[in-house]
């Protein structure tokens, strides 16, 4: 009877652990870490790219994404000492380096067709550095909480993202953003024409003698006066332009092989320990 209970317990534990492995792999395919971390947060890496130009303290260009606007921060404008200092700091931090973008899932781009993202760089073998927060903490930018998926008040300076994740498969997705632009133009057209105006003047002269009208003379004079007439016509034209902006993202999927091997080893160890204990009891 004891042997049957031990065997049944071993089977139940094995099944539960295998279910855990399956669930873990499912989360891994979604890009979520299998083992929870103290850094757990709605943090994700949607795409990686290489920075080849820094535009200012909160904007840069990278391949193959294009122009990127750092989400929810504002750096001083160029033309000021603070603006150049912010650009220099961002240049030193990310130029010619690989960056990791967490792209805004709601709008993807702003009205200037720049990808809106929280940007990270590799800090060490296990963590990434939040570039947006680093600029804020070091005084190069301020928080400007625009409508998007991010909450800059909950950002951490470091996020857990081990290097082995980067060696896994990637898939490429193209997102097309359609923007409609309405342009209104007003045109003024002036027409000038030469016209002739004729004025008629009539003069009547009457001579009176007491109780008798001697004569009455009427004189009519026609005068021609040239004039210039100007007519102005206002015309308003409205044109609506719809443009499609395709952007390609390389989405990184977390691999499962390393995690599967680790958990399989744990399952085997537990089973071996259970069987060993059972055999010792039998002796």
Q: Which of 142, 167, 192 is the last residue of a domain?
A: 167
pLDDT score recorded for residue 21: 47
| Mean pLDDT per 10-residue interval, the chain, length 283 residues | 58 59 43 38 87 97 96 96 97 97 95 96 96 97 94 96 77 56 66 68 62 59 66 66 54 47 67 71 63
Are residue 99 and residue 131 in the same domain, yes or no?
yes
* Residue 249 falls inside a structural domain: no
Report if residue 74 sits inside a domain: yes
Residue 172 lies in a domain: no
How confident is the model at residue 84, as a pLDDT?
97
Counting Cβ atoms within 10 Å, is residue 260 exposed (0-12), middle (13-18) or buried (19+)?
middle
Check whether residue 143 and residue 225 sit in a common domain: no
Same domain, 151 and 193: no
8 A C-beta contact, residue 91 and residue 85: no
Give me the CATH number covering residue 126.
2.40.50.90
Return the pLDDT at 33: 38
Strand-pair category, 115-122 with 98-103: antiparallel
Classify residue 153: in a domain, yes or no. yes
At which of 111, 137, 167 does a domain end? 167
Residue 107 CA: distances (Å) to CA of 101, 116, 160: 14, 8, 25
Assess whether 119 and 154 both reside in one domain: yes
Q: Verify that 202 and 269 share a domain, yes or no.
A: no
Q: Does 209 share its domain with 128?
A: no
User: HSE-up of 163 (CA within 13 Å, CB side)?
Assistant: 6
Residue 92 lies inside a defined structural domain of this protein: yes
The token duo for 67 is 């122009």
Cα atoms found within 13 Å of the Cα of residue 1, Cβ hemisphere only: 0
Same structural domain for residues 228 and 119? Answer: no
| Total number of domains constituting the chain | 3
Kindly state whether residues 141 and 216 are assigned to the same domain: no
Q: Which domain holds residue 221?
A: 184-235
What does the alpha-carbon distance between residue 29 and residue 86 come to, in Å, rounded to a whole number?
38
pLDDT recorded at residue 51:
97
d(CA 70, CA 86): 13
Asked, for residue 5, whether it belongs to a domain, the answer is yes
- Please check whether residue 54 lies inside any domain of the structure: yes
pLDDT on residue 118: 97
**Whether residue 76 is found in the same domain as residue 148:** yes
Looking at residue 38, its pLDDT comes to 37
User: Which string of DSSP letters, residue by residue, matches the chain?
Assistant: -HHHHHHHHHHHHHHHHHHHHHHHHHHHHTT--SS--TT-SS----EEEEEEEEEETTEEEEETTEEEEETTEEPPPTTSHHHHHHHHHHHHHHTTSEEEEEE-TTTSB-TTSPEEEEEEEE-SSSEEEEHHHHHHHTTS-EE---SSS--GGG--SEEE--GGGGGS-EEEEEEEEEEEEEEEEEEEEEEEEEEEEEEEEEEEEEEEETTEEEEEEEEEEEEEEEEEEEEEEEEEEEEEEEEEEEEEEEEE----HHHHHHHHHHHHHHHHHHHHHHHHHH-
Same domain, 14 and 57: no
- What's residue 165's pLDDT? 83
In a domain, 241, yes or no: no
Q: What Å distances lie between residue 249 and 34, 64, 149, CA to CA?
A: 24, 8, 18
Distance CA 270, CA 14 (A): 9
Same domain, yes or no, for 70 and 156? Answer: yes
> Can you give the pLDDT at residue 79?
93
For residue 35, what are its two tokens? 């083992």
Statement to judge: residues 150 and 42 lie in one domain? yes
Q: Phi and psi dihedrals of 272, rounded to 5?
A: -65, -40
pLDDT given for residue 139 in this prediction: 96
With a threshold of 0.85, does the pTM exceed it? no
Q: If you count them, how many residues does the chain have? A: 283
């Amino acid at each position: 009877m004891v042997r049957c209970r031990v065997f049944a317990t071993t089977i139940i534990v094995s099944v539960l652990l295998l279910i855990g492995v399956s669930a873990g792999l499912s989360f891994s395919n979604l890009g979520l870490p299998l083992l929870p971390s103290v850094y757990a947060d709605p943090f994700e890496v949607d795409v990686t790219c290489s920075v080849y130009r820094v535009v200012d303290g909160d904007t840069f260009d990278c391949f193959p994404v294009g122009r990127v606007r750092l989400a929810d921060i504002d750096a001083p404008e160029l033309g000021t000492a603070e603006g150049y200092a912010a650009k220099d700091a961002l240049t030193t931090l990310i130029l010619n380096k690989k960056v990791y973008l967490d792209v805004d899932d709601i709008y993807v781009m702003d009205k200037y067709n720049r990808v809106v993202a929280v940007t990270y760089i590799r800090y060490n073998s296990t963590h990434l550095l939040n570039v947006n927060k680093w600029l804020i903490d070091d005084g190069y930018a301020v928080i400007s909480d625009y409508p998007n998926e991010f909450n800059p008040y909950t950002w951490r300076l470091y996020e857990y993202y081990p290097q082995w994740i980067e060696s896994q498969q990637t898939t490429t997705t193209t997102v097309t953003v359609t923007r409609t632009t309405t342009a209104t133009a007003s045109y003024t057209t002036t027409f000038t024409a030469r016209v002739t105006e004729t004025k008629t003047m009539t003069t009547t002269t009457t001579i009176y003698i007491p109780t008798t009208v001697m004569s009455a003379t009427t004189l009519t004079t026609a005068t021609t006066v040239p004039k210039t007439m100007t007519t102005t016509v206002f015309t308003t034209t409205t044109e609506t332009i719809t443009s499609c902006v395709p952007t390609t993202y390389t989405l990184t999927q977390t691999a499962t092989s390393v995690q599967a091997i680790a958990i399989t080893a744990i399952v085997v160890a537990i089973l071996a320990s259970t069987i060993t204990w059972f055999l010792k009891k039998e002796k």
